[in-house]
């Protein structure tokens, strides 16, 4: 069941203010992107599974606002693997914020380095359930709301390994190749005025990268360094980008 951690009063929004829904905001790219967008004055709607981490993020987001300006952000507990959880998330978001302008399907998981025949069934299923089914669950419950308005942008986080392959991360590669195909297919179903893209964030020093690169992950940019470039790119996506496979550079 989805439960609100922090529901703040609504504020009037200028034309440049966007409501951005980001899944998997408790750490890594999602957290860094949420904080960057909030600093720029956009409204962040975030979800993740850890109550403790999203409570911390909710507090951090509120600190990005001026003291005279109540925080407009909304951070909720939800599990993208659960269709019913995302259905409840959509209900709460609609009640508090209305239809998001941008959705970033960021929640993701990677398997521990292993040959495919040595990856435990539960681990394989978890990667597929979060990376593919989780994205589909969000699309199922939020896309109809966007389609009704005939506007909105959906960003499905892909990977360089969604366009190439590597040994010992076959479940992750398979899931991100699926995101590429899913995004291109859904692009053909959207009305004019909307866009869905697959976005490769690049090689970024996160917990997921460390799980497969080990200490070498520290050689790559941090999520905080990545977020400004990613935010600018995402905010500037238009209907002309529909169906594209893009990369943050």
Please write the tens of the pLDDT for every residue from 22-50.
999 999 999 999 999 999 999 999 999 99
Residue range 190-200: average pLDDT? 98
Band (pLDDT 50/70/90 cuts) for residue 216 is: confident
Kindly tell me the burial class for residue 38, based on how many C-beta atoms sit within 10 Å of its own C-beta (0-12, 13-18, 19 or more): buried
- CA torsion through residues 225, 226, 231, 233, sign: positive
Pair 42, 100: CB distance under 8 Å: no
- CA torsion through residues 82, 106, 155, 236, sign: positive
Pair 110, 160: CB distance under 8 Å: no
* Cβ partners under 8 Å of residue 14, min gap 6: none
- Whole-number pLDDT of residue 66: 52
* Cβ partners under 8 Å of residue 169, min gap 6: 110, 111, 113, 161, 212
Three-point CA angle 159, 233, 42, nearest 5° = 115
Pair 42, 54: CB distance under 8 Å: no
Residue range 233-239: average pLDDT? 98
pLDDT in tens, 127-150: 999 999 999 999 999 999 999 999
Q: Which of 97, 89, 90 is nearest to 9 (CA)?
A: 97
Whether the per-residue pLDDT at 88 is higher than 90: the answer is yes
Whether the per-residue pLDDT at 207 is higher than 70: the answer is yes
Whether the per-residue pLDDT at 233 is higher than 80: the answer is yes
Q: Which two tokens stand for residue 191?
A: 């009305």
Residue range 209-225: average pLDDT? 85
Q: Say whether pTM exceeds 0.85.
A: yes
The residues carrying an active-site annotation are: 172
Band (pLDDT 50/70/90 cuts) for residue 175 is: very high
CA distances from 158 to 118, 162, 181, 212 (A): 24, 6, 10, 17
- Whole-number pLDDT of residue 70: 62
């Amino acid at each position: 069941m989805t439960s609100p951690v922090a529901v703040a009063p609504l504020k009037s929004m200028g034309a440049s203010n966007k409501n951005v829904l980001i899944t998997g905001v408790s750490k890594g790219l999602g957290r860094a992107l949420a904080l960057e967008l909030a600093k720029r004055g956009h409204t962040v709607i975030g979800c993740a599974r850890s109550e403790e981490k999203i409570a911390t993020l909710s507090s951090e987001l509120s600190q990005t606002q001026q003291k005279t300006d109540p925080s407009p952000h909304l951070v909720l507990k939800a599990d993208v693997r659960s269709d019913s959880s995302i259905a409840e998330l959509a209900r709460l978001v609609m009640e508090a914020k209305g239809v998001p302008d941008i959705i970033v399907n960021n929640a993701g998981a990677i398997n521990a380095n292993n040959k495919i025949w040595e990856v435990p069934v539960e681990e394989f299923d978890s990667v597929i359930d979060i990376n593919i089914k989780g994205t589909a669950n969000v699309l199922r419950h939020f896309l109809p709301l966007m389609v009704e308005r005939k506007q909105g942008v959906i960003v499905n986080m892909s990977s360089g390994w969604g366009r190439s392959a590597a040994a010992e991360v076959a479940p992750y590669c398979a899931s991100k190749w699926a995101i590429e195909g899913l995004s291109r297919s859904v692009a053909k179903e959207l009305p004019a005025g909307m866009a869905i893209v697959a976005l490769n964030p690049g090689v970024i020093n996160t917990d997921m990268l460390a799980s497969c690169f080990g200490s070498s992950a520290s050689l790559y940019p941090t999520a905080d360094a990545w977020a400004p470039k990613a935010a600018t790119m995402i905010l500037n996506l238009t209907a002309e980008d529909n169906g594209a496979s893009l990369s943050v550079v």
